[in-house]
Chain A
Amino acid sequence: AQSVTQPDIHITVSEGASLELRCNYSYGATPYLFWYVQSPGQGLQLLLKYFSGDTLVQGIKGFEAEFKRSQSSFNLRKPSVHWSDAAEYFCAVRDPNGSFQKLVFGTGTRLLVSP
C-alpha cells in the first residue's frame, strides 16, 4: 500500500528566507505526486504535480518541487517566503495504474512565517 510521510509537523521560517518542506513516499514504482496548500478556513489548492519527465516541476505562487527517485522524495521549495505563504501543506501520491484517481495524503506540515 502507498504511504506518504511528512516528517515535519510545524516549520517556522523568517519572511524572505528560503523554504523546503519534506515529503517521502512508499510505493513500488513511481507514483503521481502532488503538493496541495490549505490556507486557514479554506479547502485545498493544488500547488504543483509530477507525473513524469523533468524531475523539477514548477508550480503556482513561486513554488517548485523536485522528484528524487533514489530517495523516494518529492520536496517542496520556495526561494523567498512571503507572509501570505503561512498555511498547511500536504503532499499526496496516486497510483498511476490505479482506478478512480484516489489520493493518499501525508499528515501535513504547518508553515509559520515570522517577521
Chain B
Amino acid sequence: DVKVTQSSRYLVKRTGEKVFLECVQDMDHENMFWYRQDPGLGLRLIYFSYDVKMKEKGDIPEGYSVSREKKERFSLILESASTNQTSMYLCASSSPRDRDNSNQPQHFGDGTRLSIL
C-alpha cells in the first residue's frame, strides 16, 4: 500500500515564525500536493510538484513556499506564520501511470493540524 507520512500530527507555532511541514511518500510517485482544509471550504490546493525541484502554484499559494529536493519528500514552508494560516494541512501523492497504465488517484497523509498563536 502507498504510504504518505506527514512528520507532525499537531504543531503549535508563534506568529512570525518560519514553519516547515514535511511529507514523505514511499511509492516513487512523481506528483506531490499540499492542501489546506478549513471547515466549509473543503480542500484547497496550495502548491504541487510534478518532479524533483519542479513546483507549481495551486489556488492559494500566498504566504507559502515549497521545496522538493528529493523525489520522496515535499516540504511546505510558511515563511512568516500568521494566525490566518491556522488550519489542517494535508499532503498527497500520485503517479500518472500505474502498472495497469491507469491514471491513479491521489493518496493522502493523515494531516498536520497547525495552530499559529
Contacts and interface: CB of A to CB of B under 8 A. Distances in A.
A83 to B, nearest CB: 22
Contacts of B33: 102
Contacts, number: 56
A25 interface: no
B27 interface: no
A43 to B, nearest CB: 4
- The size bracket of the interface on A is 20 to 34
Nearest to A39: B110
A65 to B, nearest CB: 14
Contact of B103 (A9, A51, A106): A51
A100 B41 CA distance: 22
B61 to A, nearest CB: 13
A43 B23 CA distance: 13
Interface string A72-115: 00000000000000000010001010011111011110000000
Given A43-B111, A44-B90, A102-B33, 19 more contacts: A32-B103, A41-B9, A41-B110, A42-B110, A42-B111, A43-B109, A46-B107, A49-B105, A51-B102, A90-B42, A101-B94, A101-B96, A101-B103, A101-B104, A102-B45, A102-B58, A103-B43, A105-B44, A107-B41
Interface of A: 9, 32, 34, 36, 41-46, 49, 51, 90, 94, 96, 99-103, 105-108
